[in-house]
Structure 1
Amino acid sequence: MNKKHTPLALLALLFALLGFTACSKSVEGEQKSWESNQKAVKDLALSYPAFKSVLESQLEAAQQAMKAAEGIKDEKERIEKMAAANEMAFGEFARYLRNFDKEKKTLREKMDKLGAQTLDEANRANANRAIEEARMALQKAEAAISKGGTTLEDATSATRLAKKAIEEATESITRIEKLAQDKQKQTTEQQAQQQAQDSVKKVEEQKAQFITCQYCQVKNEAGSTKCKGCNAPLN
């Protein structure tokens, strides 16, 4: 006897199917990516002329691969071949070229932010050194991209060199920022601790200025021998 599906179980099944559909590749999705990738490659060829020849050659090879993929009858295989053509047209080095300006901008913003921070002498020296190293890293990255490459291997090597230079500089800046933040946190905690100690000390000093009568609880000036309230002797 079959068990009836509960509404909750059916809803979970529906979400699972929707999730699978959203995550899985499709012919339509690969076709949209193809259209987008072709335009992106042509734009990159204009923006980075040193990579123009390899971008165009990769796009041409990808166009042939895509044409062959579209003639495959088996849908699963066709999708796989279309995805491979998309990867060929817009591979690793092209993806990095698309993000290169953004990565440079992010690093420069971090350099400016660190340079504007108020730091102690030691952290300021470290910050200045990190900023200078980042400046050199940017020059190294820009030189690699300006040189470009005429083959896929050269293009990939150039973009990896640029990526590594910027990543290392960004990590260095981030490390100095963390040290400065930790130092500021430590200073703030020390100040709070000192304020608490000063507050306790102040209360104790105020208490020391008076002698409280154990009989009537009247406060008497320090040095008094008799209570001004009840005339009892003060210990």
Structure 2
Amino acid sequence: MKKLLTGLVLILFSYQSYSQQVYWQCSNVVIDNPSAFLSVWDDFMNSDLGKSFSANAIFQFDQSSSEFSATHQICWFSEDASALQANFQKFMSAKMVNAAGIWETWNENVEQEANVLGQSLIADPAGFDLQFAAVYYVKVEDPASYGAAFTKMKKAFDATDSDGVLELHEILAGGEPGVTHEVIVRSKSMASWLEGRNKFVASKDFQDFIASTRPYSEVLHVLTGSPVKFYNVQ
């Protein structure tokens, strides 16, 4: 037991040395009229009430499988869990009073498909605004071993000349069936990601990662997307 606890402490330390922990709550939604919705959302988030929320981002899905009809993702994120909780309460109040017309616009244009609560394990918020992201939905049965292998692989990734960032997130509640973690690769463009991906996946470091994690993990889905706009980001 002592060896197990020591191992978990070392893994946690390696996570923290790479990351600034961020809690996040995202809704995968179908937006029928993106331009109309985003116009109202922009007015809402630039209001005094909107400015009191934690950081917010709107992402659009660019490539996904036929299993997903969501067109966008609306995310709130913060280093402070209580701020994330306050967002929910404020947003429900805003919809009740139809602040900036958000209630009727939401009802007319938005259909929520999934709601996800998560936290970053290895991530740097400085890379969140990169213009392309590949998201891997992963089922992990041994999180401690996966985290250790991911940390080792990330060191090799960071040593390359890639302009992207590599992240590991944990799903705490909600989301898609079977998905326990998200691996996100962000880059400045799809072309940049493809070039870097094809080079890195052929490396020994990546192949070792795949071989070591295959017995207890499975990639269930791969999506790509890009940020539309950020709010309340310093």
Per the normalisation by structure 1, the TM-score is 0.22
Q: Which structure carries more strand by proportion? A: 2
Larger Rg over CA atoms:
1
Per the normalisation by structure 2, the TM-score is 0.22
Which is bigger in relative contact order (C-alpha 8 A, separation at least 6)? 2
Q: Which structure carries more helix by proportion? A: 1
